[in-house]
Chains A and B, each alone.
Chain A
Amino acid sequence: MAISVKKATGLYEKFERKDGTKTTTYCAGCGHGIIQKLIGEAMAELGIQDRTVFVSPVGCAAFCFYYFDCGNVAGPHGRASAVATGITRSLKDKVVIAYQGDGDMGAIGFNNAFQAANRGEHFAAFCVNNSLFAMTGGQMAPTTLPGQKTTTTPFGRDVANTGFPLHMCEVFAQLEAPVYIERVSVADTKRIMQAKKAVRKALEIQRDGKGYAFVEFLSPCPTNWRMDAIKSAEFVTNEMEKVFPLGCLRDRSAEPGLQRKPIEQKTLKELMGTTGHGIDPVPDPKFGEKRFKFSGFGGQGVLSLGLVVAEAAGNDGKYVSWLPSYGPEQRGGSASCSVVMSGQPVGSPTVDRPDVLVCMNQPALEKFISTVSQGGVLIYDKSLPVKPEARGDVRVIAFPAMKIAGDNGVPKAANTAFLGCMSALGLIGLPEEQVIEALAESFSSKPALVEKNKKVFEAAKAWVTSNIK
């Protein structure tokens, strides 16, 4: 049974990219030629060549771009579905075709293909199933039939060892999103006519922007099967069809496609918001550099305490960095952050030797006490059941932050109490208005808390005035 292949108008008349010949790279009796003719015809008939991007795979069909007269992209092995996803997601309303072999799509690329199908990506996926890896010389593919001999199953595929043939159509048919799934064959004229319909339908679904369509073609590979064209066609019909039954498993092309929920559109300016200060940092060599470390348990607000100090510095035109602790500390429930404030661009954003160390829990106190810089200050919560032994050159202040916060009705505001304490002691080095403004700003989403925290701040200051000379 010879099939005359007249070139479809969706294909180039002469293959200029292939030295201008008129013959393809496919072996005589190969299904690829027939399938690509069907795709080329359908493309031309639907008039979509100027809307189409064709993604070639790796393997015998790697050179589809020799043949198809439309936009062409050659993808890596197994990745046609991912590449097609990238194209269809960034070029809306185009017709995208991903063409893969069964080894390419069923093995290395299966997850990409499966996930694309599951998302209902807008492209037509065509998979040519000839039951093995063809171009590399006939190795086993996920689709190899039980007992079938290939170069890597020399004793025949043993399903107890290498598993069963992968039924891609049936697997995809378990998914919600695909619009259309059909398995066809190109073994004889009658079947080719059915395949032609399937190709056309898959492309119409793309033309109409409906979603994912998958067509699997049972296709002969006379070269690797070591059979002539006629025997190969018979093998497809008599052996492959037994394992891979033909038919349409899904057709929702008449239903309206899924529509995305609209998201309110904004301009970049709107998105970036109007908050944020206009001041550029002003070089101020006299200011020097102040290094802070705030530490405690996660949830005690040590990170936000650091942020308020940093924001205040930024608003005051200082160079400043804020860095949360990273690594193992993050998991044990401990949290800390480093703030570096400077009159010139900040060097290291980490603080190994803090000028001011605030500790809200015991592990932090034990861990960092020895790191305070010469002449530095350690402030810890007075409720901690320890008496820290610091070097003589470190000023140690046991400050009842938690008590002050609790007494003022906001037990969670111990961090604000520490802020008030630091401000009263002149440790921040910024005007108090800047500190209070940054504190208020940090509660911009919970305005009710602003006044309460200001109260805690004032109470902390009052404690400092009456307890520290």
Chain B
Amino acid sequence: MRKFTKGNDAVVIGALYAGCDVYFGYPITPASEIAEGAAELFPQLGKEYLQAECETASINMLYGAASGGKLAMTASSGPGISLMQEGISYMAGAQLPALIVNIMRAGPGLGNIGPEQGDYNQAVKGGGHGNYHAIVLAPASVQEMCDLTIKAFELAFKYRNPAMILADATLGQVKESLKLPEKESEKPDTTTWSVQGDAKTRRNLISSIYLDLELMEKHNEMLQAKYASMEKEAMSETYLIEDAELIITGYGTSARVARSAVDQLRKEGVKAGLFRPISLMPFPTRELNRVMLGKKVLVAEMSNGQYRDDVLLHLEREVRTPVRLVNRMGGILIQVEDVLKAARRMMKEVQ
């Protein structure tokens, strides 16, 4: 069945089909509709919804629920996610799965409630203290707001690691046709590690403390190996790349704008194509290189080049691949026209 649905609502729908047990959250524009949706739907399904007193409480409630092996989630936006970073680090340290949704707004600080992508580094590089990563998925449509929410839960439990949906105010507000999932996901078995208050899990322990320095190093090494093992989960999408001379790349809303720009450029006779990462952690390094090496690359984003820096970092250096940036910040959506201008200039100036 299809429903004409807002991105924020699609996240809640996805969570329900994923089998999410509990929602803890604190309202913030432009993510509040997720809390509102959960408040309405969760209790009717016998699931738990609680509005926490603050974001710090929400994330620690998630920590508690995840300790019990439950599928738990929260959603917030920039400033709220900042407050949650300590808890996310603890969860990564204690290897707890949970879902955190970030409907990005413009920052830094209070900023405004317009769409931005300025939280890229915070989401992808860790954000809290210590050597860790969250799994980060970046939807670009209402359908993906739902589908990637389900995928994020799946990966979080597969790797026992917090996962994040990184979207922005536009994706939260846009309404598109959503095809509902066929069926609900199966519950993961967590009895080997979770603490469920029963005989079977009585000896299990959830903790991130390693006072012994060597053990702490081992724990870190194990986490790094785990992150490396996630590479096979990397996801990306391409559009019209076969004969492309110019690759425009962006994630989330920027990728949508870039896709429109690619269509327009093709009409103008420019061989343009699109590369869109769907998972930002793990980063789709191999695909990115396959698509981009030796081409002209234009990065479109709504932040100060944070994603561009990762493109540069992950590109193999032996082959010359010129990379340029077109961006908007401050809550202003990047326009197709912005991308077109930058693309035309790049085609002219870069040989």
Contact = CB atoms under 8 A, between A and B. Distances in A.
Contacts of A280: 2, 179
A246 B69 CA distance: 39
B256 A82 contact: no
A273 B13 CA distance: 12
Contacts of B46: 265
B100 interface: no
A51 B4 contact: no
A50 B196 CA distance: 9
A468 B198 CA distance: 77
Smallest CB-CB A-B distances: 8 pairs: A86-B64, A347-B260, A94-B197, A86-B61, A82-B60, A74-B207, A71-B195, A347-B259
Contacts of A69: 202
Interface in A352-399: 352-353
B52 interface: yes
Interface of B: 1-4, 13, 16-17, 21-22, 24, 30, 41, 43-46, 48, 50, 52-54, 56-57, 60-68, 70, 72, 86-87, 90, 94, 112-115, 141, 169-170, 173-177, 179-180, 184, 195-199, 201-202, 204-209, 253, 256-263, 331-333, 335-337
A303 to B, nearest CB: 10
Contact of B63 (A62, A86, A328): A86
Interface stretch (A142-150, A152-160, A167-175, A319-327): A319-327
A265 B44 contact: yes
Contacts of B174: 321-323, 349
A323 B201 CA distance: 48
B195 A53 contact: yes
B63 A75 contact: yes
Contacts of B45: 265-268, 271
B260 A82 contact: no
Main secondary structure of the interface of B (DSSP, over half): mixed
Nearest to B41: A271
A110 B239 CA distance: 53
A73 interface: yes
Nearest to A314: B177
15 contacts: A53-B195, A56-B207, A62-B209, A72-B195, A73-B206, A76-B60, A83-B61, A87-B64, A90-B21, A91-B68, A91-B197, A268-B45, A347-B261, A347-B262, A350-B335
A327 B3 contact: no
A89 B65 contact: yes
A346 B258 CA distance: 11
A240 interface: no
Instruction: Point out which of B30, B60, B70, B170 has the most chain A C-beta atoms below 10 A from its C-beta.
Output: B60
A404 B86 CA distance: 59
Contacts of B52: 82, 85, 115
Given A90-B48, A326-B169, A352-B335, A71 B113 contact: no
Contacts of B48: 89-90
A459 interface: no
Contact of A278 (B2, B173, B201): B2
A73 B67 contact: yes
Contacts of A53: 67-68, 195-197
Interface residues of A, number: 74
Instruction: Point out which of A53, A277, A320 has the most chain B C-beta atoms below 10 A from its C-beta.
Output: A53
A450 B62 CA distance: 46
Contacts of A5: none
A30 to B, nearest CB: 18
Instruction: Point out which of B43, B68, B86, B184 has the most chain A C-beta atoms below 10 A from its C-beta.
Output: B68
Given A65-B207, A272-B13, 18 more contacts: A74-B205, A79-B57, A82-B56, A85-B61, A86-B66, A87-B67, A87-B68, A87-B197, A89-B61, A89-B65, A267-B45, A271-B41, A276-B4, A310-B4, A322-B174, A327-B113, A327-B331, A348-B335
Interface string A443-460: 000000000000000000
Contacts of B184: 268
Instruction: Point out which of B86, B253, B336 has the most chain A C-beta atoms below 10 A from its C-beta.
Output: B336
Instruction: Point out which of B21, B195, B335 has the most chain A C-beta atoms below 10 A from its C-beta.
Output: B195
Given A90-B65, A314-B4, A348-B336, A268 B197 contact: no
